[in-house]
A and B are shown apart, each in its own frame.
Chain A
Amino acid sequence: MAKTKVAQINDSLYDFKNKDEYAFKIEKGLNEDIVKEISKQKNEPSWMLEIRLKALQIYNKLSLPVWGPDLSELDMNNIATYVKPNTDIKSNWKDVPQNIKQTFEKLGIPQAEHKYLAGVGAQYDSEIVYHSIKEDLQKLGVIYTDIDSAIKQYPNLVKQYFSKCVPLSDHKFVALHYAVFSGGSFVYVPKGVKLEKPLQSYFRLNSPDSGQFEHTLIIVEDDASLHFIEGCSAPKYSKINLHAGCVELFVKDNAYLRYSTIENWSKNMLNLNTKKAIIEKNAQVDWVSGSFGSKISMLYPLSVLKGDNSRTEYTGISFAGQGQNLDTGFKVIHIGKNTSSVVNARSISKSGGIATYRSLVSVLPTATNAKSSVSCDGLMLDDISRSDTIPLNNIENNDVVFSHEAKVGKISESAIFYLMSRGLSEDDARALIVRGFANPISKELPMEYAVEMNRLINLELKGGIG
């Protein structure tokens, strides 16, 4: 039977370069002097420099992971870990330098802010260049600012939470992150405040031979709720770029957080990101994740269901095309009583791309009456790609209902036959099935982002016979 051609992800929307202009670019490599210089550039308090130096020591002691994709291409001696753009942070797009403003306009950020966001943060290389939040939310006590400002303006709050969710020694690239982190957002939603519109931070890396290490810290207090959207992209260069961000989420009693990510890094990017949420009593965190870009991704968000009756859901899709190795998945640790987790992961691989679902479900002895349901499906669109599933399930008490299921294969011939018998052409039938495969994820996104995701995938299911 003929095969449908599925186009590579259309990068033209994201693959545009500005001239590599900056106010300061640190020398390539990683050592104590570089870490001290970053801290100096940021005029940080001494406690933060201490964290950075301690993290550097840990980084030097830890080895590369022995599992997952090959990271031998990464040479920190070729990466500049800090690139300060030619502007300070602004709260009005008019004040942002023209070339940077145009970048975000092309990405649709100001337009999105105007239409349906409660606040926006825009990072260009290593620093946030624009941040805003609606006035009425500020009056309610909501804080949405860049992490550098938060360190200076709310030191006690930052000290209380910073690195308490993701410890410095979590893994080698977390240690790297803490040593050189720069940029990122800080969100504090006070007790009982429910944001009706999402906040969005967008991270753009323009400078070649560099890394982005933004730190996102979100605290959602009791009975509050928030939808946070994260987007990221970069133009493609011939050499390796590195993204090692870190996301720490604290979600308190009865609170709700939805964390949505549309990631489209360029195909020269190593995306070694770390995301973790600590979820208290009766609280819920939902992750919605679309991974489309990067050369290599190792990304496994973690929900720690600490409080009784806490819940988490993960809905994710990854699309591995030519030259991509996307090793993604989800981790959940059940600690509290009556906790529940639901995982729905999908992957599509084509043109030699490698998609791996790697996960952990851990139900600890304290987590009585826990429920966990995991479903992961892999769709292969040709015979030169790979789709692997490597899920670990650790059950340490018997008062649990746990199930895991996975499927892998190509588009069902019988489903195509069925649809064709209803009058669809073979190509239309295949297109419908692939769209349906991605639908559980796109339906979880706000409409505008679902449209973006569909555009991003750009499945040209127009019936080319392959």
Chain B
Amino acid sequence: MKVNFTPVNTVQSYGINNIEILDSNIIYTPTPFKNYKIENQKECIVLNKTDTNTKQIISPELQKQFLNANITNSIVIKKSTTAPIKINAMFNEQNNSLVDILNIELQNNVKAQIIITYKGLPAYHNGLIKINMGKNSVLDIIVYSNFLGNNYLTIQDTKQQNAKINYCIIDFAQQNTIQNLYSTSLGENTKTQLDTMYFGKENAVVDLNYNVELTKPKNIACLNTIGALSENARKHYKGLINFIKGAKKSEGSENEYCIMLSKTAKSKSLPMLLCGEEDVTGSHSASAGKVDESALFYIMNRGINKTEATKILVGAQFNSITKNIFNEDIKNEILENIDRSINFEN
């Protein structure tokens, strides 16, 4: 299965676009999934009616799968939430394949927090999250995946005037992590903040394809991606900030950092800026490399072994994202995951 084609064509031999996933393990007709819960339903209205149309898809095969989704929900938030709405999918032996569609609508002037988690035993997940943001609405949303298996995630949002959305996408799925985000603005003065964190292990493929369109005046986009790769993991980062003509006074920035914990890990990045509007500020940066050796040496000089010193330094890098996470349990789980994932003694 080929996945995640960017809107910008690239030289085919570079191998970053439309990449082949050999062990995609698509399950076209998943069995009923019973370990899916929405907590704090009093904060919203839950409907069993969804829209699956997306402007940008991971692949036609995965898109087709949404026709047989085993979980479909729409959440309408009419007033600001007093506690986060929590959506938990827990994988176990009976519930090990999930194709879920979640539509989220924030009405005008609403502030909300949503935490979505996919956790548990080895599983397969293909999810679609569609978000419509009303005027002056603000959404903090965490999507946290931590299970052994293929994790395909498609997110699409639209934002009306003054709407702000803060994404925190954390993926510790231990096989293939394929993400696709398309974000656009329908009004002025919107903001899209996307913080992504991943940890690729063994032979995992991490393929991130983000496309944020700045279409109206004073749209802001800020994309931060930090991840680590160990063993033979490989990562493809494709980030596009697209300034459409008319997006005057808009700002877009994109930062991507990949920590390479092994000699055989591979990192590809394609941070793109397309600019059809003069009166904007756009920037991007990308960097990759191993953990800073001088810092490692300094910490090890204090009697800490290499594994522990590396954990400290990777945790410190991830901290630029974890510090903004509003849920302490997830913060702690991330640290525990880093702890488990780094071991130079084996």
Could you list which residues of chain A lie within 8 angstroms of chain B, going by C-beta atoms? 65-68, 360, 365, 378, 380-383, 385-410
With A380-B275, A402-B289 known as contacts, the answer to whether A389 contacts B284 (CB < 8 A) is yes
Q: Is B282 an interface residue (CB 8 A)?
A: yes
Closest residue to A68 on the B side, CB-wise? B9
Once the chains bind, are B275 and A398 in contact (CB under 8 Å)?
Answer: no
Closest residue to B292 on the A side, CB-wise? A401
Secondary structure class of chain B's binding surface, majority of residues: strand
Once the chains bind, are A395 and B288 in contact (CB under 8 Å)?
Answer: yes
Instruction: Please report the C-alpha to C-alpha distance between residue A410 and residue B279 in the assembled complex, in whole angstroms.
Output: 6
Instruction: Please report the C-alpha to C-alpha distance between residue A67 and residue B279 in the assembled complex, in whole angstroms.
Output: 27
Instruction: Please report the C-alpha to C-alpha distance between residue A433 and residue B95 in the assembled complex, in whole angstroms.
Output: 62
Once the chains bind, are A409 and B280 in contact (CB under 8 Å)?
Answer: yes
Contacts of B269 in A (CB 8 A): 392-393, 395, 404
Partner of B276, one of A67, A386, A397: A386
Contacts of A382 in B (CB 8 A): 278
Partner of A67, one of B9, B264, B281: B9
Contacts of A400 in B (CB 8 A): 260, 288-290
Q: Is B287 an interface residue (CB 8 A)?
A: yes
Instruction: Please report the C-alpha to C-alpha distance between residue A381 and residue B264 in the assembled complex, in whole angstroms.
Output: 44
Closest residue to A386 on the B side, CB-wise? B276
Q: Which one of B11-19, B58-66, B190-198 contacts A?
A: B11-19
Instruction: Please report the C-alpha to C-alpha distance between residue A224 and residue B258 in the assembled complex, in whole angstroms.
Output: 39
8 A-B pairs whose Cβ atoms sit less than 8 Å apart in the complex: A381-B278, A389-B273, A393-B268, A398-B263, A400-B260, A406-B273, A407-B282, A410-B279
Instruction: Please report the C-alpha to C-alpha distance between residue A396 and residue B288 in the assembled complex, in whole angstroms.
Output: 10
Q: Is B185 an interface residue (CB 8 A)?
A: no
Contacts of A378 in B (CB 8 A): 273, 275
Contacts of A405 in B (CB 8 A): 283-286
With A390-B272, A408-B275 known as contacts, the answer to whether A67 contacts B283 (CB < 8 A) is no
Q: Is B126 an interface residue (CB 8 A)?
A: no
Instruction: Please report the C-alpha to C-alpha distance between residue A402 and residue B279 in the assembled complex, in whole angstroms.
Output: 30
Most chain A Cβ neighbours within 10 Å, of B271, B272, B275: B275
Q: Is B277 an interface residue (CB 8 A)?
A: yes
Instruction: Please report the C-alpha to C-alpha distance between residue A165 and residue B54 in the assembled complex, in whole angstroms.
Output: 45
Contacts of B279 in A (CB 8 A): 383, 409-410
With A398-B262, A404-B271, A409-B281 known as contacts, the answer to whether A392 contacts B288 (CB < 8 A) is no
Give the shortest distance, in Å, between A6 (CB) and chain B (any CB): 13
Partner of A392, one of B10, B275, B276: B10
Once the chains bind, are B261 and A393 in contact (CB under 8 Å)?
Answer: no
Instruction: Please report the C-alpha to C-alpha distance between residue A68 and residue B9 in the assembled complex, in whole angstroms.
Output: 8
Partner of A406, one of B262, B268, B284, B287: B284
Contacts of B281 in A (CB 8 A): 407, 409
Once the chains bind, are A390 and B270 in contact (CB under 8 Å)?
Answer: yes
Contacts of B272 in A (CB 8 A): 388-391
Partner of B288, one of A365, A387, A402, A407: A402
Give the shortest distance, in Å, between A71 (CB) and chain B (any CB): 13
Excluding A393-B288, A402-B287, A404-B286, 4 further A-B contacts by CB distance (< 8 Å) are A393-B270, A399-B289, A406-B285, A410-B280
Closest residue to A357 on the B side, CB-wise? B273
Contacts of B283 in A (CB 8 A): 405-408
Once the chains bind, are A397 and B268 in contact (CB under 8 Å)?
Answer: no
Q: Is B267 an interface residue (CB 8 A)?
A: yes
With A66-B9, A391-B271 known as contacts, the answer to whether A408 contacts B263 (CB < 8 A) is no
Most chain A Cβ neighbours within 10 Å, of B272, B274, B279, B289: B289
Q: Is B245 an interface residue (CB 8 A)?
A: yes
Contacts of A409 in B (CB 8 A): 275, 278-282
Once the chains bind, are A392 and B245 in contact (CB under 8 Å)?
Answer: no
Most chain B Cβ neighbours within 10 Å, of A365, A388, A401: A388
Contacts of B274 in A (CB 8 A): 386, 388-389
Give the shortest distance, in Å, between B205 (CB) and chain A (any CB): 15
Instruction: Please report the C-alpha to C-alpha distance between residue A383 and residue B217 in the assembled complex, in whole angstroms.
Output: 13
Contacts of B275 in A (CB 8 A): 378, 380, 386-389, 408-409
Contacts of B12 in A (CB 8 A): 66
Once the chains bind, are B263 and A395 in contact (CB under 8 Å)?
Answer: no
Once the chains bind, are B286 and A393 in contact (CB under 8 Å)?
Answer: yes
Q: Is B119 an interface residue (CB 8 A)?
A: no
Give the shortest distance, in Å, between B210 (CB) and chain A (any CB): 15
| Nearest 5 A/B pairs, CB to CB | A398-B260, A67-B9, A383-B278, A398-B290, A380-B278
Once the chains bind, are A404 and B273 in contact (CB under 8 Å)?
Answer: no
Instruction: Please report the C-alpha to C-alpha distance between residue A176 and residue B278 in the assembled complex, in whole angstroms.
Output: 38
Instruction: Please report the C-alpha to C-alpha distance between residue A93 and residue B280 in the assembled complex, in whole angstroms.
Output: 52
Closest residue to B270 on the A side, CB-wise? A392
Closest residue to A373 on the B side, CB-wise? B287
Instruction: Please report the C-alpha to C-alpha distance between residue A410 and residue B9 in the assembled complex, in whole angstroms.
Output: 26
Q: Is B266 an interface residue (CB 8 A)?
A: yes
Once the chains bind, are B277 and A383 in contact (CB under 8 Å)?
Answer: yes
Contacts of A408 in B (CB 8 A): 273, 275, 280, 282-283
Once the chains bind, are A398 and B261 in contact (CB under 8 Å)?
Answer: yes
Instruction: Please report the C-alpha to C-alpha distance between residue A380 and residue B281 in the assembled complex, in whole angstroms.
Output: 11
Contacts of B265 in A (CB 8 A): 398
Contacts of B14 in A (CB 8 A): 360, 392, 394
Instruction: Please report the C-alpha to C-alpha distance between residue A67 and residue B266 in the assembled complex, in whole angstroms.
Output: 24
Instruction: Please report the C-alpha to C-alpha distance between residue A66 and residue B282 in the assembled complex, in whole angstroms.
Output: 26
Contacts of B16 in A (CB 8 A): 392, 394
Contacts of A407 in B (CB 8 A): 281-283
Q: Is B8 an interface residue (CB 8 A)?
A: yes
Instruction: Please report the C-alpha to C-alpha distance between residue A387 and residue B274 in the assembled complex, in whole angstroms.
Output: 7
Instruction: Please report the C-alpha to C-alpha distance between residue A382 and residue B273 in the assembled complex, in whole angstroms.
Output: 17
Partner of B286, one of A68, A388, A399, A403: A403
Instruction: Please report the C-alpha to C-alpha distance between residue A174 and residue B251 in the assembled complex, in whole angstroms.
Output: 40
Instruction: Please report the C-alpha to C-alpha distance between residue A396 and residue B260 in the assembled complex, in whole angstroms.
Output: 9
Instruction: Please report the C-alpha to C-alpha distance between residue A167 and residue B263 in the assembled complex, in whole angstroms.
Output: 31
Give the shortest distance, in Å, between A396 (CB) and chain B (any CB): 5
Instruction: Please report the C-alpha to C-alpha distance between residue A390 and residue B271 in the assembled complex, in whole angstroms.
Output: 7
Instruction: Please report the C-alpha to C-alpha distance between residue A256 and residue B307 in the assembled complex, in whole angstroms.
Output: 43
Partner of A395, one of B245, B267, B280, B284: B267
Contacts of B268 in A (CB 8 A): 392-395
Instruction: Please report the C-alpha to C-alpha distance between residue A15 and residue B245 in the assembled complex, in whole angstroms.
Output: 34
Give the shortest distance, in Å, between B202 (CB) and chain A (any CB): 16
Contacts of B11 in A (CB 8 A): 65, 67, 360, 392
With A383-B277, A389-B284, A409-B280 known as contacts, the answer to whether A395 contacts B270 (CB < 8 A) is no
Closest residue to A383 on the B side, CB-wise? B278
Once the chains bind, are A410 and B278 in contact (CB under 8 Å)?
Answer: yes
Contacts of A391 in B (CB 8 A): 270-272, 286
Give the shortest distance, in Å, between B311 (CB) and chain A (any CB): 17
Instruction: Please report the C-alpha to C-alpha distance between residue A385 and residue B277 in the assembled complex, in whole angstroms.
Output: 8
Give the shortest distance, in Å, between A433 (CB) and chain B (any CB): 14
Contacts of A401 in B (CB 8 A): 289
Most chain B Cβ neighbours within 10 Å, of A383, A399, A400, A408: A408
Give the shortest distance, in Å, between B262 (CB) and chain A (any CB): 6
Give the shortest distance, in Å, between B115 (CB) and chain A (any CB): 33
Closest residue to A371 on the B side, CB-wise? B289
